[in-house]
Amino acid sequence: MKTTRRNFIQQSAQLAAAGAAIGIIGHQELFASSPSVLQFSQIALPYGYPALEPSIDAQTMEIHYTKHHAAYVKNVNEAIQAEKITATDEKSFFANVSKLSAKARNNGGGVWNHNFFWQCMKPNGGGQPSGKIAEALQSTFGSLDKFKEQFTQAAMTRFGSGWAWLIVDDGKLKITSTPNQDNPLMDVAESKGTPLLALDVWEHAYYLKYQNKRNEYVGNWWNVVNWDFAASQLK
């Protein structure tokens, strides 16, 4: 069939439209299947700044949450963008943290650790745990008092800044500690596992009230421990 100039123009337009449609569909499929890059965020504080007094004072809580914790969020998200970090969730971020910069590692840990830490405490907390967390502590450490002694020891012997942790690994409870803003989810951690409780022993967590008396801070922290939260993490 003879192709007229008009037919040629019409066919060309149809092919162009079809190609554009294919291109749009292909772009949409690519975009939809591309996972979003991780952005760390700060959880809402589960209680007011004065809620944990007298164990933890309101001024320390406010500065800790609005200054220290907020800064970690800002800094890690800057690092993710600048370094083109492709982790799509916190688990994969920490599983490969040894490959990341000090800025990404320290600030990513700082965000996650504090989000977890706030939930490890509650007003009118402390006392005796019950249920499965009480049974697990009894089975592993012999008694609640013996657990508290060992956990306190981990917190007191962490040189400089860091954290004390109660974790579960392969169904077994363990006490460990990490330096700086490391945590047991990181591939660099000496003891890895799922955190159940965390205690921040950086000086900024207690110095306004306790000065250099870390032992008093740790001792009073047991009065605000959220055993229900620890039990919820014990799968």
Establish if 215 belongs to a structural domain. yes
| CATH number assigned to the domain comprising residue 196 | 3.55.40.20
| Environment class of 220 (CB within 10 Å of its CB; exposed 0-12, middle 13-18, buried 19+) | middle
pLDDT tens digits for 167-181? 999 999 999 999 999
Query: Is residue 27 in a domain?
Result: no
Residue 7 resides in a domain: no
Strands 162-169 and 172-179 turn out to be antiparallel
pLDDT at 33: 35
pLDDT at residue number 10:
53
- Whether residue 33 is contained in a domain is answered as no
Asked if residue 116 is part of any domain, the answer here is yes
Residue 99 covered by a domain: yes
Asked whether the bond before 54 is cis by omega within 30 degrees of 0, the reply is: yes
In a domain, 220, yes or no: yes
Q: pLDDT tens digits for 226-235?
A: 999 999 999 8
The predicted model scores a pTM of: 0.85
Q: What is the pLDDT of residue 35?
A: 56
Closest CA to 203 of 154, 152, 153, 159: 159
Kindly state whether residue 16 falls inside one of the protein's structural domains: no
As given in the structure block, the two tokens for residue 75 are 């800094």
Q: Tally the domains of the chain.
A: 1
Q: Using 50 as the pLDDT threshold, list the residues of the chain that sit under it.
A: 1-5, 8-9, 12-13, 15-34
Burial class of 165 by CB neighbour count within 10 A (0 to 12, 13 to 18, 19+): buried
Domain that holds residue 63: 57-235
Rounded to whole angstroms, how far apart are CA atoms 57 and 13?
A: 72
What is the predicted pLDDT for the residue at 37? 82
